[in-house]
Structures are given as structure tokens and as C-alpha cells.
Structure 1
Amino acid sequence: MPSTKSETVRPPAVAGRFYPADPGLLRRDVQRLIDAAGPVSEPLAAAYIVPHAGYRYSGHVAAQVYARLAAHRGRVKRVVLVGPSHHYPLRGTAAAPYTAWQTPLGEVRAAATNAVGSSRLPHEAEHSLEVQLPFLQVALGDDIEVTPVACGMSQTPDTARIIAALLEEAGEDAVLICSTDLSHYHDLATAQRIDAATAEAIKSLRPREIAPQHACGVFALRGTLAWADATGRRPRQLALATSADAAGSPDRVVGYPAFAIERPGL
């Protein structure tokens, strides 16, 4: 029997919590964040690292990436999204078996993949990839497709090979988005020290130095860095902040990164 719409379209799981559920308010908030970060005129990078907390906390950091993508609206047709599985214990990687993802701004088409198997379970309640979608809709418009992939416990070379396969399958007009936050729930000074060391490991392409407790998307992040190293690309830091820089207490903060991964000299 054919699937029903409810089975093939993934509904929002965190609208009204991580970002506004009202379409008008959501579009205004995202556009405001992108406008505050841009305009930015620079070559399109092959990949970016972005955070995935509630917009009030990490939206200004994520906007550093999406302001750069907005400058290439019409060029980017496919976005490969990789990030953690917070709620489901996952080994290896799992694509999402949906034809579209619903947000308050409408549906985002999902492109099927033959590079990795799919499972609904890691994606049903997951926010790390969902929160990227309204940013993508505002920055790039409605004419995009996404391939969301959850990355659980895995060996870095295996994840890097899967990322390479996903990007080859997606074609020349594709961009990789790696979704991760950094350290969690330290005081501000401790968080800044830990996150600075993680940022150096990212910039120096040293994925083994990033501990699981220092990046909640560590397996996707390590794989992204190994892929970057293998393809001659290097991360450039765009922003590094914590929840205390926005609306949070300095006693228990979460770190947020933004990086562009590009070829040297661009």
C-alpha cells in the first residue's frame, strides 16, 4: 500500500520551543538574524559547521553561516545535513526515510540517498537537523532539497567515507552542513577554555582531539574534519560563542561554533 502523508512527511518536533511556531514571526526572526550577520560576499564553501540550540541562544552564531549561504541563493540546490542523534542510541549513520520535512514555513523536499541506510527512529524527535531547515528556507528559498543523516557512534574514517559518498551523490551544487554544539553546562570560564581548545582542533584538522563530552555532534564533526583533510580543505572560524553571550546564565553554559570549510586561498 502507498504511504500516507503522515508517514512520508516529517512533522516539526521542536517548533514553538527551539524556534517560533508562527510562520510570520519565524521568518522575521530568521531574516533578522541573517541580516545582522550579513551581507557577506565570499566564495561558497563546500561545508559549514553550525550550532543547533534554540534560536535565542545560538541563532546569531548559526546566522554567520546562513548569511554566507544567502549570498549564493539560486546556486545551492542540495544540502547534506549531518548531526547527532540525541534521543535514540544510534550506532553508525542513518538517513531519514521521508519525502519532505515540514516546518512552519512550508515543506522542504528530502532527497533519497543510496549512500547510507535509513531509519525513522533517530529522526522522529531530533532537533539538531530540524532547526537548520527554517534557516535554509529563508537563506536559499524553497527550491532546495535536503538529505538529513544522523551520525551515531562510529569510526571517523567510516563517517568521512559516508560524507564523501553523500556529497558525490548530491552533485556539484551541494553543500554539507555539520550540526554540533560544543561543551555543555560548565561555568563560562571553563567553557571558553574547553571550546577554544576544540576550535583549535577543528582548525588544525585534528578530530581525534575532540572528546565526545566537548561536542554533542562529535561523530559527525570528526567525520567532517576527516573528509575535509582528505579533500584538501581547511576550516575557517566564523564565530565562537556561548549561551551566556545571548540570554543564558554564565554559571551553566553551552558552546556554539560556526566554521566554513574551504580550500586554502579562497
Structure 2
Amino acid sequence: MPSITSHTVRPPAVAGRFYPADPERLRADITALIDAVGPVSEPLAGAYIVPHAGYRYSGPVAAEVYARLAAHRGRVKRVVLVGPSHQYPLRGHAAAPYAAWRTPLGEVAAAPTAVVGSSRLPHEAEHSLEVQLPFLQVALGEDVEVTPVACGMSQTPDTARIIAALLEEAGDDAVLLCSTDLSHYHDQGTAARIDEATAEAIRSLRPREIAAQHACGVFALRGTVAWADATGRRPRQLALATSADTAGTPERVVGYPAFAVERPAIAE
């Protein structure tokens, strides 16, 4: 089903809560997070897995991904964003019918897609894709385009095929970002055990072993892992942490992953 075309600009829904609403502070905070990772020199991966909580919690983990994207500024022209629908009970997949997404740093152009149909409902109040946009603006510049797609209840092979089609449509200068957090509201020790098991399922390309209750973006995540397996890629862990490791308390934490999904190096 073709995407619904629109001239609507989607306003920020969580500025001032998940990240600063003041543009100068927002840019400074993101720059500091990326700079803290340090210069990264490695090939651009075809996809990355990145968390989506408030920046004070998941920002240091997300910055592991964005420091790598920043190293390829000017090369990446489009980013396909897949993630969950927290606020709206979605079955299947829905693109966002907006011409652009506004953040405190300006507008990000949205490239339409003919791969899946569009619906405003999963995107109006959703934070999982929105919080990636200011990071993208700082890491890749103002010319990057995005194709945001919410992934609801779906079969893993279907999501993997949709991801493949979205990337084929986007072209050679595109990258996939899969937005997900991991376990929610366990104590630090329990969360560490659960998240390590999930990370092992990701690293080992076993999407069926990623439990729905252990990743809020589970359908997008399973599809991304299945797509990686089908295309000869392998997820490489960049970071795995919880809110207790960054800014929270150890009694009730949320887990955050960062992975690069890349083709294995060919031995000389």
C-alpha cells in the first residue's frame, strides 16, 4: 500500500522531557556525548541498534552509535528508522505521513515510502524514533533524510522483508537504525542477567530467543536480527548498560543496547 503524502510537519512531542528543548543546550549536550566516545575510525555498518530513553539515561550508550555515524558525515544521505509504538496498539507496520519532523534544532526532511502504508496514530506521541532525530542532526548534518516506520505486532520474517525493502528503496547511501531499550524495572543484577541473554541472542542471530518482555522494541529488533542473518551480517556489541550505570538507582533500572550490524571482515 503506498504511503499517504502530506505537507504536515510533525512537531516534537517529548522535547523538554526526554531531551532539552533549548537548541543551544541540546546541541551542546549531544556534542559532548559524542565527543566522550572519542574519534572512531571503522567502516560504516549497514545498520545499528540504539536505545531511546531520556538522554541523561541512555545518551552515553546511544552516542556509541552516533560517534560512528559522525565519522561518515556526508556519506549517509538517508536513515531508515524502525522502532516500537508505545502509545498506540499497532498491528503490522506504519510509516509516518509527515513531510518533515521538527526538533529544537530545526526540521528533518522525511522521505516517503511505498513499502508500507502510513498512519499518524502510532507516531503522534511516540518518543522512540523522535529522540534519534537530534542525534542525527548533530552527527550527520541538516541534509539527512529519514524514513520513520513503527513496528507493531508482526511476524519476524515479515518485518525482516520490510526492512530489506525499505533499505533497497532508500538506496546505497542509507543506514538502518533499530530503536529499542531492553529489560524494564528490574534490579540491577537481574537486569544485567536478562540483558546479557538478550545481547547473546542478538550477537548469535537468534531472534526467536529475544523475549517480548525483555525489549520494548522487540518486533523491530527481531526483524533487524533476522534481516542481518539473511544478508550475511552480524551484530557487534558496542555497549550494554542500564540506567543505574548512567544516571539512575540500582533498584529499578532499564537496559540500553548499542550494536553495529555489519558484514564480517574478510581475512587476507
Give TM-score scaled by structure 2 length: 0.97
Instruction: Answer yes or no: is 1:37 the counterpart of 2:49.
Output: no
What amino acid sits opposite 2:97 in the alignment? P
Maintained 8 Å contact 1:49/1:260: yes
Deviations 1:122-179 (A, max 9, x none): 0000000000000000000001100000000000000000000000000000000000
Q: CA deviation at 1:246?
A: 1.1
Match of 1:214 in 2: 214
Match of 2:254 in 1: 254
Match of 1:189 in 2: 189
What amino acid sits opposite 2:183 in the alignment? S
Match of 2:204 in 1: 204
Structure 2 regions of 5+ residues with no counterpart? 1-5
What amino acid sits opposite 1:230 in the alignment? A
Maintained 8 Å contact 1:76/1:174: yes
Match of 2:25 in 1: 25
Q: CA deviation at 1:38?
A: 2.1
Q: CA deviation at 1:210?
A: 0.5
Match of 2:145 in 1: 145
Q: How does 1:1-266 map to 2 (within 5 A)?
A: 8-265=8-265
Q: CA deviation at 1:206?
A: 0.3
Identity %: 86
User: Following the alignment from structure 2 to structure 1, what is the Cα–Cα distance between the partners of residues 133 and 167?
Assistant: 18
User: Following the alignment from structure 1 to structure 2, what is the Cα–Cα distance between the partners of residues 172 and 252?
Assistant: 42
What amino acid sits opposite 1:185 in the alignment? Y
Q: CA deviation at 1:227?
A: 0.5
Aligned to 1:66, the other structure's residue is in SS state: helix
User: Following the alignment from structure 1 to structure 2, what is the Cα–Cα distance between the partners of residues 252 and 141?
Assistant: 36
Deviations 1:54-110 (A, max 9, x none): 000000000000000000000000000000000000000000000000000000000
User: Following the alignment from structure 2 to structure 1, what is the Cα–Cα distance between the partners of residues 211 and 76?
Assistant: 32
What amino acid sits opposite 1:141 in the alignment? G
